[in-house]
Structure 1
Amino acid sequence: MLEILAKTRHETTREYVIRVLRYNIENLTLKPGQLVSENELAQSLGVSRTPVREALIELSRTGVVEIYPQKGTFISLIDLSIVEEARFLRCTVEKAIVQLACEMCSEEDLAALEDNLQLQRACVERNDYRRLMSLDNEFHRLMYAACNKEMTYSLIQSVMTHFNRVRLLNLAEMDMQRTVDDHEAILKAVKSRNKDEAVAVVERHLSRVLFDKNYLMQLHPDYFK
């Protein structure tokens, strides 16, 4: 069943539908390869079919859904070539971000990151990988925000759907503690203003998908292109 998010005051209905659909796709509530109905989506979201149709067309332009005339609209399978491009983009930018963070993070910023890590540790204890995914995203957003690069974060997230689905599978099927350990190492490097160490940890952190993808494909062959 579709997970419904609250609509913000400043977003249009079309923007709202895009955000909800992207959220449900990235969280695998809408599964790769799944057929979706405009009518059912509109009914679930309490909107007309027009913004749903517009949202699906927009998502198709970024490879998140696939629209076939006379056949229907399907959630795109995970494309590993897109996953790798997204990983490359994020890794390239975040190596620059952590170097800036070593210079710019205030004590308040560091405290917010530490608070986030405490919540991540609790997720590992509860085996709550979905909540950990949300906190993982927030940890990185806080780092961008500390460097006055929130627009950069938003732009990157707009093309991360394929990568984020693999990240969620990784958290669900692999050891969640690895992710928290990586975040702790990133924060430790930033606190000590050690740029070289921060860059090395980020590269390791964002490269795990390269080593885990074959195992994830064996577990979920129907999810991948």
Structure 2
Amino acid sequence: MVANIEQPRQTVTDLIYDRLYRQVIENELPPGTKLSEAEVARTLGVSRQPVRDAFYRLSQQGFLLVRPQRATLVAPISVEAVMQALFIRTALEVATVMAAAEQGTDEDFDRLDALLEEQGRAVQADDRMGFHRLDDELHRQICALAGHEYAWTLIREHKAHMDRIRLLSLSFTAHDALAEHRAIVGAIKARDADAAVAAIRHHLSRIAGSITRIHQTNPGFFDQEQI
């Protein structure tokens, strides 16, 4: 009999961190937004210490600028951090699509097709957050059917800076992203590893063009020293 393994309970700091992390990534708190420990604590009905701890964690990841005796700000988007995340993600996903093309089963492919259908409905409904979640799920499933689900854990840990760009770009890239997902899945189903690698590289590389376009309309969102 396998004993149940209890998951560690989230602390107040964890909950505050998760909330602020999501708001920054989803651009509910855009770059330059001022944050106050006292105001966040009052809004959430908590003491200032867990808020301070959450601020520190987010600052260590490059999402907040904590300045002594001055307002804490949501950090600008770092192009350098985005490109570092892209490098890591591309290396891992190239390996997983190759493995998926070699060992995926018909049942695996049916799950991917079902996700593509859901993505199509999300695009039609202009449900950007829904599409984003389904996008992540497709990539996670590819890692899983390749036998390397732990790779998605690593990708998720590093892709947050990419997500700030991805979520801003979905107003003009969702249709293209869906077409690229279909190409990736099509190559995997055809067991054509080379085509799958080419498709995933093309899909992930488009973020550079998205950075340029978003910067044209929202120049204040970026670290100007990196543009």
Same fold by TM (over 0.5)? yes
One-letter code of the match for 2:80? S
Answer with 1 or 2: which has the greater Rg. 2
User: In 2, Cα distance between the equivalents of 1:9 and 1:44?
Assistant: 26
Aligned pair partner of 1:212 in 207, 210, 213: 210
CA distance 1:194–1:29, shift in 2 (3 Å): same
Corresponding position of 1:115:
114
CA distance 1:103–1:41, shift in 2 (3 Å): farther
Corresponding position of 1:57:
56
User: In 2, Cα distance between the equivalents of 1:161 and 1:74?
Assistant: 18
User: In 2, Cα distance between the equivalents of 1:112 and 1:48?
Assistant: 45
Matches within 5 A, 1:71-86: 71-86=70-85
User: In 2, Cα distance between the equivalents of 1:171 and 1:213?
Assistant: 12
One-letter code of the match for 2:89? R
CA distance 1:46–1:155, shift in 2 (3 Å): farther
CA displacement at 1:39 relative to structure 2: 2.9
What is the CA RMSD across the aligned residues, in angstroms? 1.8
Q: Deviation digits for residues 24-70 of structure 1, max 9, x if unmatched? A: 11110111111112233334444433222112111111111110001
How much identity, in percent, do the aligned residues show? 34
CA displacement at 1:147 relative to structure 2: 2.7
| Count of residue correspondences | 217
One-letter code of the match for 2:197? V
User: In 2, Cα distance between the equivalents of 1:46 and 1:152?
Assistant: 37
Corresponding position of 1:192:
190
Corresponding position of 1:40:
39
CA displacement at 1:119 relative to structure 2: 1.2
Matches within 5 A, 1:64-143: 64-143=63-142
User: In 2, Cα distance between the equivalents of 1:41 and 1:149?
Assistant: 39
CA distance 1:151–1:20, shift in 2 (3 Å): farther
**Cα pair 1:62 1:159 within 8 Å, conserved:** no
Does 1:166 find its partner at 2:165? yes
Matches within 5 A, 1:176-187: 176-187=174-185
CA displacement at 1:9 relative to structure 2: 7.3
Specify every segment of 5 or more residues in structure 2 that has no aligned partner in the other structure, as ranges: 1-6
Corresponding position of 1:5:
none
Q: Deviation digits for residues 168-189 of structure 1, max 9, x if unmatched? A: 11112x2321000011111111
Moved more, 103-112 or 182-191: 103-112
**Cα pair 1:35 1:73 within 8 Å, conserved:** yes
CA displacement at 1:100 relative to structure 2: 1.2
CA displacement at 1:163 relative to structure 2: 1.1
One-letter code of the match for 1:193? R
CA distance 1:109–1:44, shift in 2 (3 Å): farther
CA distance 1:52–1:185, shift in 2 (3 Å): same
